[in-house]
Structure 1
Amino acid sequence: MKKITPVLLPLVAFAILLSPTFALAEEAVTTSVNAGATVTTPTATKVEVKATAGQSVALMRGKDRGNQEIDRRVTNLNTLIARVQGMKNLSDADKASIAGTLTAQVNALNALKAKINADTDLETLKGDVKSITDSYRIYALIIPQGGIITAADRIVTISTTMQLIAVKFETRIAAAATAGNDVTAIRVVFEEYKAKLADASLQAQAAVNAIVTLVPDNGDATKRAANTKALKDARAQIVVAQKDLQTARKDADKIITALKGMKAAASTTTTTEASAGAQ
């Protein structure tokens, strides 16, 4: 082995003296790094906990909102089901069909509510809550459909009652003519009365036919536009039918007033109460 030259001895000795210093410096750096990691770890944990807490709050609020929207729709649907079951001019089969469709919507909404309450992912929850309006269209389609159907049923009920009164009018007018009264003007009013009642029933039925088969659009813009137009047209037909009934009521009052002034009217008077009963 080579001997260390005298010139290098001082350098070696100096290096030996410095080695503990380097070791201490390295230990200090390591300790500093470890200490930094120890400091940052709780901060990351706090951020994670905060994010988790925020998501929990968002989930809770989303579920509350979804439940409220569903409960409101279910309440309105159940009210509509009761109205359908009380309709007078629908057959039992038609009542069962419409009520069955509405009940299916109630069941579907309740199933969606259960899914919403079980959601643990915020994005999934958002999609489920959004589907309440996009997929079911309770207020955009189902409730308006039911409103048109019940309005049409009431119109047909009133029209049918007033048509029964028309038979009595016919008898009174014929009796007045036999007694020598001029019934030309009253017959014109009577013909309008019958025509308005017939048209009211026709318009009401057309309104129902236009919307009874509509289904939710499920996000289809073309179908949504078609549904909107069909509902608008049906509402317009209901308005026409209601105006027909208003005109028919006025005609009934004119007929009653005219008959009261005729000779045959004394024993065959059609009372205003009968007309009021049709309303």
Structure 2
Amino acid sequence: MKFAVAIRNMGPQSNRATIRACARIAEQAGFDALFVSDHLCIPPDQTEGSGGRYLDVLATLAFIAGATEKIRLGVSVLVVPYRPAVLTAKQVATIQELSGERMILGVGVGWMKPEFAALGAEFRKRGAITDETLSVIHHLFSADVPGAFDSPLVKFPSFVFLPRPKRPPIWIGGNGPAAMNRALKFGDGWHPMLPAAELKAKVEELNARARAAGRQPAEIIVRRGFRLDDTAAARAKVAAEKEAGATYFILDLGRYADEKAFGRSVETFMAKVAN
């Protein structure tokens, strides 16, 4: 099992110095990747824990890419319907290029209706928009001059798509049948938010469908937060995730106060839980 850690790009911890320090701590600690989270327009009644302060997730990853050298950089998860498809592909390609191909693209359809309204995005079409955007990403990363694209929601002529680094791994967020279908069609991994007790049967179903389609089993990603003062209990929880089929574990430390608190928790996890 590989381990990653979430870094806060929201709330008072989302300042330049703290983000950079936490990214470097995560890299030095030996995590495979670090992850940030996507919101753009927080409604006033949803600000608990962030105060409504959120940094744009892709711009934040670009900043972190310049502050680190080898740790991978991920989104858990990008709300795909918030952004135009071609622009998203260009931003992803840019981060992938400038980071030295260290990006992981976690994606989801979103859930916060007021945020969709603020962005002028269609909530009822979010699944279809996500599918077409993923089709666009696959299409554009396939050639320097990919052909024209014509689908019900996205149309564009042929153009030069450069730079064209290796497409980053795509991890599909979501729990239900649509997310699992999307993972099989477009993804390299599945990133559900199911408890371990429910995960195992779903992983077995997904892997069986992948084998039937001639595909390798997908990476199974979970993101969890828990107390680190009882390391035995924490180790047992990680073991339960692995037993349920998870292959990748993102540690969510919640609302750590600053980079010092982040560093202490990271050190405890890596020394006493991950090993």
TM-score between both structures, scaled by the size of structure 2: 0.20
TM-score between both structures, scaled by the size of structure 1: 0.20
More helix by share: 1
Find the structure with the greater CA-based Rg.
Answer: 1
